[in-house]
């Protein structure tokens, strides 16, 4: 085996370990603050907000959180499972933050694929309620 290939094979385990660490510990994302939304984000939410089915959410979750051991995947699917039969609304901000809101339970979450996720706080839930009311 050529020396360059042998050297590359020795690097493979370290590279694999690095990739695994990045996958399980994504880059931190600033706390998503719906209260201080700029006009562009607010406009994107108003334009994109829609009711989504559980099947659509499962498909979205499978696309965004591809790895079975991804902790964000477990959180996403647990949120859906904890709200059976509920109505869900999905919106995307201008910078790619996904917002999922369940008005039946007044619960929601945000996630930025590859970076992080968190719960919608009271102000964020109120804004989503207003956006939903304005969309219908």
Over range 27-36, report the average pLDDT: 52
Whether pLDDT at 23 is above 60:
no
Per-residue pLDDT, 10: 43
Residue 11 in domain: no
Residue 20 in domain: no
Give the Cα separation of 114 and 26 in Å (integer). Answer: 6
Residue 80 in domain: yes
Per-residue pLDDT, 7: 41
Q: How many domains does the chain have?
A: 1
Residue 67 in domain: yes
Range of the domain at 127: 29-135
Residue 92 in domain: yes
User: 130 vs 13, 36, 124, CA distance in Å?
Assistant: 50, 15, 10
- Single pTM value for the model: 0.70
Residue 75 in domain: yes
């Amino acid at each position: 085996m050529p020396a360059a290939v042998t050297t590359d094979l020795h690097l493979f385990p370290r590279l694999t370990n690095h990739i695994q660490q990045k996958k399980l510990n994504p880059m931190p994302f600033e706390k998503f603050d719906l209260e201080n939304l700029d006009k562009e984000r607010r406009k994107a939410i108003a334009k994109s907000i829609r009711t989504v089915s559980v099947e659509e959410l499962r498909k979205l979750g499978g696309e965004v959180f591809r790895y079975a051991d991804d902790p964000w995947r477990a959180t996403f699917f647990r949120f859906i499972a904890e709200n059976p039969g509920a109505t869900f609304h999905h919106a995307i901000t201008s910078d790619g933050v996904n917002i999922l809101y369940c008005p039946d339970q007044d619960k929601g979450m945000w996630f930025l694929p590859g970076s992080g996720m968190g719960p919608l706080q009271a102000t964020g839930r109120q804004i989503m309620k207003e956006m939903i009311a304005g969309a219908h």
